[in-house]
């Protein structure tokens, strides 16, 4: 029971660390705001034929380079950089996908931690059959959990992608 508590604490710490590391990735996603069919159709975040390089603007996560179809489009880049979340907050599917992916990511981390703990248990069993079995079972269940997490990730993203069109 003491080992399980330690494993759960390690999993929680790993999950927290992963979310802290991944949080800047979600800080400013301009991709859903720019391009045809979006709020800023004349802007792009990548150099594209027919677009001019706009002056760099200060965004919520540092300086951002936009490319625009015209100087008027470049003028909108400052508005977008000041509040990139204004475009992202309206799509329920994206919010659900983000939450589900974060949960599946945490489950994947816990599965990997369990595989590591099972490997340590197996390596330190010193030939004791019960400890060897326990280590092998932990590795097996960790691998099964990892496979389930990967399949769940694929299924959720496929279904939400199909719903979005």
Say if residues 136 and 121 touch (Cβ distance below 8 Å). Answer: no
Q: pTM, whole model, 2 decimals?
A: 0.47
What's the domain range around 152? 2-27+90-164
Q: Of the candidates 136, 116, 141, which has an alpha carbon nearest to the alpha carbon of residue 125?
A: 136
**Dist CA 115 CA 98 (whole Å):** 26
Of 68, 83, 98, which residue constitutes the final position of a domain? 83
What does DSSP assign to residue 56?
A: P
Quick one: 54 and 71 in the same domain?
yes
Say if residues 96 and 164 touch (Cβ distance below 8 Å). Answer: no
Quick one: 160 and 103 in the same domain?
yes
Quick one: 22 and 99 in the same domain?
yes
% of the chain residues with pLDDT over 90: 18
Write out pLDDT tens, residues 13-68.
Answer: 655 555 555 444 444 566 667 777 677 788 887 887 888 888 878 766 677 788 88
Residue 60 covered by a domain: yes
Question: What is the count of structural domains for the chain?
Answer: 2
More confident residue, 95 or 146: 146
pLDDT of res. 50: 81
Q: Which residues contact 116 (CB under 8 A, 6 or more apart)?
A: none
Quick one: 128 and 157 in the same domain?
yes
- Of 96-105, 108-117, 118-127, which range is least confident? 96-105
Which range has highest mean pLDDT (1-5, 23-27, 97-101, 105-109)? 105-109
pLDDT of res. 26: 46
Average pLDDT over residues 72-91: 71
Residue 157 covered by a domain: yes
Residue 37 covered by a domain: no
- In the numeric block, which tokens belong to residue 42? 């004349």
Residue 131 pLDDT > 50, yes or no?
yes
pLDDT of res. 105: 86
SS3 23: helix
Q: Of the candidates 141, 134, 105, which has an alpha carbon nearest to the alpha carbon of residue 120?
A: 134
Quick one: 119 and 154 in the same domain?
yes
């Amino acid at each position: 029971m003491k080992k399980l508590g330690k494993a759960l604490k390690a999993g929680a710490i790993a999950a927290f660390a992963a979310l802290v590391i991944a949080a800047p990735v979600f800080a400013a996603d301009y991709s859903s705001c720019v391009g045809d069919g979006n709020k800023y159709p004349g802007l792009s975040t990548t150099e594209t034929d027919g677009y001019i390089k706009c002056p760099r603007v200060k965004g919520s996560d540092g300086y951002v380079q936009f490319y625009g179809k015209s100087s008027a489009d470049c003028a909108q880049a400052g508005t977008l950089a000041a509040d990139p979340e204004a475009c992202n907050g309206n799509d329920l599917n994206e919010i659900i996908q983000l939450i589900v992916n974060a949960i599946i990511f945490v489950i994947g981390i816990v599965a990997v931690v369990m595989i590591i703990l099972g490997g340590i248990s197996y390596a330190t069993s010193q030939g004791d059959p019960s400890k060897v079995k326990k280590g092998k079972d932990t590795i097996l269940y960790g691998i099964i959990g990892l496979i389930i997490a990967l399949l769940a990730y694929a299924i959720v993203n496929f279904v939400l992608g199909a719903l979005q069109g």
